[in-house]
């Protein structure tokens, strides 16, 4: 039995360990109908209101274990959606573990087919951000073609870093070129980085772990790496979604903008990185708001990105869906903004979920 790891503990999650794979013929027959099935919402509320509530931060668990060791099941996930009025969840089964290229390709394929089967079995309830074997560029390019052309995935799911390589690393350039060509949606979840682990962060003891500080920081780090590589400038057709309201990056924007008066940076270097300014570059990105519904955090994100770029997320199964739903309901925001975040922004970004 392979060992299960998880992103929230800061290591890569095995994407195939205990997932039963459907027969190839059965699977391909089912996946061919995925796009059509997704257009048939199960909940009457979605059909009546003309709008789905869409959760774009939802974890599938290939080990069938939650982070606390309790059992995970797709039925429990469906029940959580039903109990909280969420019509559709776009799920990510995690990063593919570091391994040899052949094994990574097999794991990515099995993970994505396993995930897609849930979408087929529960029409209208789940979409997919597919996993890639990122450290095998040729394998990643082949999997991009498969998940979009065959599985009809909604987008690609990545983590902030693959070991010590952040997303702006030059080795990932061919992958982003292809994702830009396909005008892909790319969802980015934080992971733990080799620089900052419990071995070096002595305060990470007991329940204090990477999600407390390192995850929001690593989201900022990978955004900066993309900017330094000019990915968001050179590949404007990729639509990036970052978790948790962008982590700590919103609060750093003004600090970085002020570097025009710092002699070691100056206005010329900032203009190279941000031709229209750092706030304009940040506003190109999309943000789901799980763990960022606290009024002070939400208000900051709301001030620095367009209202059309804010999305609802729950972070299930690491948190109950009710946690995010109740925090979202408690926000004092205009009805139009609530409607956008609740689902219409995600439906615009992911058109097959329009009702």
Per-residue confidence (pLDDT) for residue 98, from 0 to 100: 83
The answer for residues whose C-beta is within 8 angstroms of residue 283's C-beta and 6 or more apart is 304, 305, 306, 309
Task: Give the residue with greater pLDDT, 15 vs 236.
Answer: 236
Give the whole-number percent of the chain exceeding pLDDT 70.
86
User: Which alpha helices (DSSP H) does the chain contain, by range?
Assistant: 24-31, 34-38, 44-49, 74-83, 101-121, 137-149, 173-181, 210-228, 231-234, 249-257, 266-273, 278-282, 295-304, 321-330, 335-339, 345-349
By percentage, how much of the chain surpasses pLDDT 90? 83
Instruction: Using the predicted structure, report yes or no on whether residue 334 has a pLDDT greater than 50.
Output: yes
Residue 51 pLDDT: 84
Q: Which domains does the chain have, with CATH numbers?
A: 7-353 (3.20.20.140)
Name, of 42-51, 94-103, 205-214, 236-245, the range with top average pLDDT: 236-245
pLDDT at position 67: 87
Q: What is the pLDDT of residues 16-54, one digit of tens each?
A: 444 444 455 455 544 544 544 443 444 434 443 458 999
Q: What is the mean pLDDT of the chain?
A: 89
pTM of the model: 0.90
pLDDT at 27: 53
Rounded average pLDDT over 318-335: 98
């Amino acid at each position: 039995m392979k060992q299960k790891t998880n992103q929230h503990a800061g290591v890569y999650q095995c994407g195939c360990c205990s997932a039963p794979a459907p027969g190839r013929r059965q699977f391909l027959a089912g996946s061919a109908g995925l796009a059509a099935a997704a257009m048939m919402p199960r909940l009457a509320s979605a059909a009546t209101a003309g709008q789905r509530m869409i959760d774009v931060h939802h974890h599938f668990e290939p080990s069938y274990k939650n982070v606390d060791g309790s059992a995970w099941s797709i039925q429990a996930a469906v029940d959580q959606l039903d109990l909280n009025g969420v019509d559709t969840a776009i799920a990510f089964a995690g990063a593919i573990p570091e391994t040899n290229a052949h094994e990574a390709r097999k794991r990515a394929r099995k993970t994505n087919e396993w995930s897609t089967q849930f979408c087929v079995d529960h029409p209208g309830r789940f979409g997919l951000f597919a996993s890639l074997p990122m450290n095998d560029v040729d394998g990643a390019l082949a999997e991009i073609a498969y998940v979009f052309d065959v599985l009809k995935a909604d987008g690609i799911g990545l983590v902030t870093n693959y070991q010590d390589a952040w997303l702006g690393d030059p080795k990932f350039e061919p992958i982003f070129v292809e994702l830009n060509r396909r005008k892909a949606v790319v969802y980015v979840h934080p992971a733990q980085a080799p620089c900052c682990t419990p071995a070096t962060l002595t305060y990470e003891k007991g329940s204090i772990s990477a999600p407390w500080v390192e995850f929001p920081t690593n989201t900022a780090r990978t955004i900066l790496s993309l900017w330094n590589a000019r990915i968001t400038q050179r590949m404007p057709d990729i639509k990036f979604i970052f978790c948790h309201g962008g982590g700590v990056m919103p609060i750093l924007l003004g600090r970085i903008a002020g570097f025009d008066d710092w002699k070691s940076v100056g206005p010329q270097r900032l203009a190279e990185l941000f031709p229209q300014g750092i706030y304009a570059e940040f506003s190109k990105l999309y943000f789901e708001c799980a763990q960022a519904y606290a009024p002070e955090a939400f208000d900051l994100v709301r001030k620095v990105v367009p209202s059309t770029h804010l999305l609802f997320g729950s972070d299930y199964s690491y948190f109950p869906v009710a946690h995010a739903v109740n925090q979202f309901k408690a926000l004092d925001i205009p009805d139009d903004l609530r409607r956008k975040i609740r689902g219409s922004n995600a439906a615009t970004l992911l058109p097959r979920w329009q009702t």
